[in-house]
């Protein structure tokens, strides 16, 4: 049996036609699953009964099990989902007024080994399938009703471009107007900057916002902090980012985590200015989120202000990212798919399916 949630509407259509279903069946099924949130083929009443029987034999709809959830003092919510036996991932919801941003994971673990990121301590277990990524959106959306998830950011566990094929299929599903219908500006993918995958993306028509984990504008220092970037030098990365912004008509954002004693001195800021000018991009400055796994610390507020002022004084659009979910280990660089039940009084445990 095939999980329908792993297939875009076009791929579902091709598969259904191959198996002798009417051409319009794919659109009907897609609307039932994603617009009506109905995963029971017997309830898809505009599909002929014989077709419903066949669909039930050929396909199924996967869904995750919510094992635990935590709520931060700032309203951020973290969810621990079980995808299959012994496979868990974390998803984070960041509410801000009427805007709800969902940070989804794209892999179980991560192979990239950035020195400051807790997710990298897991190593890579496997890539998530499209349905497993989409299900994070669907599960949290159902918990929020009548509120909605307005934005999806692929910034959870994993390097999204290491799972490029499944990522593209996921985004195609999320953007399909016959289903969820998120616009390209409502989806953001974060990457360390894998140049070969960016070149592949630049040849495709699909559009979304791109965020690059730069964290150092000096190549040698960046290679130490993020060892995997030795394969993707800035001299090769920056042209691909310029091309992405041009082809997709989407400005690229640079993410820059400030770590005391590592990358937050004046010379670091001036090198970052030089890169930002070449790209005409926005920069998100993020004070380091501490964890029990590393001894790094964020700079003191004065040094953060100095760094930000240098960027702004040189005309660079710069936003200081307010840490969210630090008290439940849900902030940038803290995800590891494990929950400390004694950490917060907002922790809840679930053993059967989704609960509000």
- Identify the helix (H) or strand (E) that includes residue 349: strand 348-349
Q: Is 320 left (phi over 0), alpha (psi -120 to 50) or beta?
A: beta
Q: How many residues does the chain have?
A: 356
Which position among 90, 132, 159, 255 bears the catalytic label? 90
Residues 6+ apart with CB under 8 A from 231: none
* Cα–Cα distance for residue pair 290/298, rounded to 1 Å: 8
- The long-range contacts involving 14-18, CB below 8 angstroms and separated by at least 24 positions, are none
Spell out where 104-238 has E strands. Answer: 107-110, 123-127, 151-154, 187-191, 209-213
Which position among 110, 117, 318, 332 bears the catalytic label? 332
The DSSP bridge pattern shows strands 77-84 and 87-96 to be antiparallel
Do 156 and 101 contact (CB within 8 A), yes or no?
no
Two tokens at 163?
């799972």
Nearest to 109 by CA among 94, 93, 89, 95: 89
Q: Give yes or no: 117 in active site.
A: no
Q: Give yes or no: 90 in active site.
A: yes
Task: Report which DSSP code applies to 183.
Answer: -
Torsion over CA of 177, 179, 182 and 188, rounded to 10 degrees?
-120
Do 158 and 110 contact (CB within 8 A), yes or no?
yes
Residue with tokens 């080994």: 113
Q: What is the separation of C-alpha 327 from the centre of its chain, rounded to a whole number of angstroms?
A: 21
Angle 186-191-196 from CA coordinates, rounded to 5° = 115
Q: Which residues are catalytic?
A: 90, 332
């Amino acid at each position: 049996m095939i999980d329908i949630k792993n297939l875009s509407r076009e791929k579902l259509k091709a598969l259904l036609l191959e198996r002798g279903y009417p051409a319009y069946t794919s659109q009907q099924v897609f609307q039932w699953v994603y617009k009506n949130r109905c995963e029971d083929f017997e309830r898809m009443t505009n599909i002929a009964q014989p077709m419903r029987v066949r669909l039930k034999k050929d396909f199924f709809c996967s869904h995750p099990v919510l094992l635990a959830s935590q709520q931060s003092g700032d309203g951020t919510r973290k969810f621990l989902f079980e995808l299959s036996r012994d496979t868990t991932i974390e998803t984070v919801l960041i509410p801000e007024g009427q805007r709800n941003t969902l940070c989804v994971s794209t892999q179980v673990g991560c192979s990239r080994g950035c020195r400051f990121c807790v997710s990298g301590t897991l190593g890579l277990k496997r890539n998530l399938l499209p349905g497993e990524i989409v299900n994070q959106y669907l599960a949290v959306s159902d918990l929020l009703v009548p509120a909605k998830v307005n934005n999806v950011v692929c910034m959870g566990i994993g390097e999204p471009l290491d799972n490029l094929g499944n990522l593209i299929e996921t985004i195609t599903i999320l953007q399909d107007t016959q289903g969820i219908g998120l616009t390209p500006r409502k989806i953001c993918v974060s990457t360390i900057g894998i140049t070969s995958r960016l070149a592949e993306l630049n040849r495709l028509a699909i559009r979304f916002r791109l965020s690059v984990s730069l964290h150092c504008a000096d190549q040698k220092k960046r290679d130490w902090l993020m060892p995997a970037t030795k394969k993707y030098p800035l001299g090769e990365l920056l042209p691909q980012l310029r091309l992405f912004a041009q082809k997709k008509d989407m400005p690229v954002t640079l993410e820059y985590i400030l770590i005391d004693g590592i990358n937050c001195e004046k010379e670091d800021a001036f090198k970052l200015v030089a890169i930002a000018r070449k790209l005409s991009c926005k920069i998100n400055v993020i004070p380091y989120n501490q964890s029990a796994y590393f001894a790094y610390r964020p700079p003191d507020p004065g040094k953060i202000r100095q760094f930000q002022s240098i960027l702004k004084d040189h005309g660079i659009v710069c936003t200081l990212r307010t840490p969210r979910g630090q008290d439940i280990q849900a902030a940038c660089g803290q995800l590891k798919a494990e929950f400390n039940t004694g950490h917060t009084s907002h922790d809840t445990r679930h053993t059967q399916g989704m609960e509000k």
